[in-house]
Chains A and B, each alone.
Chain A
Amino acid sequence: MHDDRHDITLTVNGVGYSRRVESRMLLSDFIRHDLALAGTHVGCEHGVCGACTVLLDGEPVRSCLMLAVQANNHAISTVEGLAGKDGAYHPLQQAMHDHHGLQCGYCTPGILMTMSAFLDENSSPDENEVREALSGNLCRCTGYQNIVDAVLTAAARMRG
């Protein structure tokens, strides 16, 4: 039992991977340690802080509350896949930069993944909707105001 391993195949940011993982490996640790994609941050590891948020088949989920083996045959997106292939920022990344929406930056990857999926679903949110969508991501630096401003600006720019 101490070596219960499984073969998994998945895509992360559109790139296919096949790996053998121990069943107790969390998806967050798999992404960081096995795939060396350290943009996904790990905060509380029990589903409270939201720093480890990734997209599972396009939906934001906490990667610390999933096993890597559960991601078998699924598509994961992480913060590394957010910018364009030419390196151009996603509009949300640009707006976070413009509005000073981060200080230490630890929560930022989770916030970018949560809010980019939110903007895909709701292209003209009001401030309350933004705050509600942001409720599962803790930030201890900014007081959230600049993050909310950034999301609203990104929404406006994405609407064109």
Chain B
Amino acid sequence: MKPAPFKYIAATSLEQALALKAEHGDEAKFLAGGQSLIPAMNFRLARPAILIDINGIEALCGVRTSEATTRVGPLTRYRALQRDAAFVGLFPLIGEALPHIAHPQIRNRGTIGGNLSHADPASELPAIAVALRARLHVQSAKRARSVAAADFFVSALTTDLQPDEMLTEIELPLQSPRTGSCFMEVARRRGDFAIVGVAAQMTLDNHDACGDVRLSFCGVGETPVDASTAASILIGQSPTDDMLRDVAASVQTMIEPAGNVHATADYQRHVAGVLTERALRTAHQRAHDAR
């Protein structure tokens, strides 16, 4: 259980890190929090020839909020976000999900950008990035571009990132007033990977009807699943229990969970339905209570 040999380079600037990645491509891996990469290296499932440590690049850390958006540096650690009351106040959906992400020791090291780039389909943040309509900014030595979160996740552990690129910023649009959100998940133990996780967010219009609704899942597909279309029947309505049941039924036909050793696909589908109703009901109530 030791990593295979590799060459270690501690990058001191983004430019240096990107130049190294451009030179070495898939042979090289960025090392951020290391909470997924190092276990994979310990198992020798990952055997990068070169490890580019980006932990020394201060510019990749931290949260900046302007009028319309909040920008999160990819090297920002889960724990830093948990401690950032202003950030959690702006994005309570993330605040509610953070305690579900692994354990305190992992959250002290694990980073937002590392999590999204790793793209584990059972992981919470990719589903939340989709629900919040995050834009993911990506850079290589040659160019910069941005991708909608919904287009970033290609399949299990695979993103739209090219071999020479790094996720350099996560841009979250600020939420309208009268927005409520809810994150819930079912896992076998606290901190385990989700059997099913759901992120729901609802914004009420001036007539107390649902003006916008977002719904996404982790753990039920190869990528986070954007099920917002299933919830779109709520738009213009004041959601009732019957409507929520209809949304849940439509989610259950829409998702294609694979099942695993802990849960059959049927059980995952059942849980997804139950969580859909609960999370949307809670998000609706919170939107109602929000000013």
Count of A-B residue pairs with CB < 8 Å:
95
Known: A45-B1, A133-B104, A136-B191. A65 touches B49 (CB 8 A): no
- B20-76 with Cβ < 8 A to chain A: 31, 34-35, 38-39, 41-43, 49, 51, 53, 55
Q: Does A6 lie within 8 Å of B43, measured CB to CB?
A: no
* A4 and B38 form a contact (CB under 8 A): no
The reply to whether B105 and A62 contact each other, CB–CB distance below 8 Å, is yes
Residue tally, chain A, CB below 8 Å to B: 33
Output the nearest chain A residue to B35 by Cβ-Cβ distance: A65
- Is B42 touching A46 in the complex (CB atoms < 8 A)? yes
Residues of B within 8 A of A45 (CB): 1, 42
Q: Which of B55, B79, B106 contacts A47 (CB 8 A)?
A: B106
Contact A136 B42 (CB under 8 A): no
A65 B34 Cβ-Cβ under 8 A = yes
Q: SS class of chain A's interface: helix, strand, loop or mixed?
A: mixed
- B106 contact set on A, CB distance < 8 A: 47, 62, 65, 136
A50 B103 Cβ-Cβ under 8 A: yes
- Give the distance to chain B from A139, nearest Cβ to Cβ, in Å: 13
* Docked-complex contact A136 and B8, CB < 8 angstroms: no
User: Mask for A30-53, Cβ within 8 A of B = 1, else 0?
Assistant: 000000000000000111001001
Listed residue (A50, A56, A133, A135) with the most chain B CB atoms within 10 angstroms of its CB: A135
Q: Across the interface, which residues of A come within 8 angstroms of B109, CB to CB?
A: 56, 61-62, 65-66
Cα distance, A53 to B105, chains bound together (Å):
8
With A1-B49, A45-B42, A66-B34 known to touch, is A24 a contact of B5 (CB < 8 Å)? yes
B79 cross-chain contacts in A, Cβ below 8 A: 59
B49 CB to nearest A CB, Å? 7
Contact B104 A69 (CB under 8 A): no
Nearest B residue (CB) for A42: B1
B4 touches A24 (CB 8 A): yes
On whether A67 and B39 interact (CB within 8 A), knowing A136-B103, A136-B104, the answer reads: no
